[in-house]
Amino acid sequence: MTIIREERIGGQRLILGDSAEVIPMLDKFDLCLTEAPRGFQQAIAVTRTEGGQLFVPDGGDLVTNLAPLRVVEQAIASAQKSIIWGGDLYELPLLFWLVWDRQSFRPRASRCDLAWTNIAEPTHSFNLNSGYRDGLALPVALWRWCLARQPGAVTVLDPFMGEGAALAACVRQGKHGTGIEIDPDAFDAACERVQAAVTA
């Protein structure tokens, strides 16, 4: 599959393709900043299963459609530093964490999200109630907060780009982002979002 399509918008490089195939073709980055893909379905049990599924307590959500661990590890290896939102769902070495406190109290909804990071610093919390709903991309303000914590990072990889929120934040922070997305519709939405960030 490799690179199916590529767009360059405002210093950002957007690639339509499979991260597992594209990452080895790229140079090393200063920072890997991403949200590991995950879907949610209703669940009843509390067990980890083969195939990348994690059950949470009775009446909660089943986390599905996780990216393979090997691809997440490949993304981490492609950068000097990494921040992986949803990294708590993987068996990664226990290092350091960032926390997004959603400041919301909806029934059955997580109050916070965790990001795994290999950046040696105390745990920090980002507090924002943005009206975020489960299943939607993380808010651009969260991505900007992550980037601001790494002022020396000039080149940024988002291997699971989705609709381009991290690259839109790169535009605003003056970083050179590279995003990879396998879904054509999400890729098109990312191109539009990055273009909107450039012209804003």
Convert the pLDDT of each residue in 89-148 to its tens digit: 888 888 899 998 877 655 555 678 899 999 998 888 888 765 555 445 688 889 999 999
Distance CA 39, CA 138 (A): 14
**Cα-based distances in Å from 155 to 78, 152, 161:** 11, 9, 15
Query: Would the pLDDT of 88 be above 90?
Result: no
Q: Half-sphere exposure (CA, 13 Å, Cβ side) for 76? A: 20
- CB atoms near residue 50 (< 10 Å): 5
- CB atoms near residue 162 (< 10 Å): 22
Among positive and negative, which fits the CA dihedral 5, 182, 176, 197? positive
Average pLDDT of the segment spanning 160-189: 96
Question: What is 3-199's CATH number?
Answer: 3.40.50.150
Angle at alpha carbon of residue 94, lines to 88 and 95, rounded to 5°: 105
Domain boundaries, the chain: 3-199
Collapsed DSSP state (helix, strand, coil) of residue 132: coil
What confidence category does residue 67 fall into, taking pLDDT thresholds of 50, 70 and 90?
confident
Convert the pLDDT of each residue in 15-51 to its tens digit: 999 999 999 999 999 999 999 887 544 444 434 444 4
β-sheet with 39-42: strand ranges across: 39-42, 61-64, 53-54, 48-49
pTM: 0.84
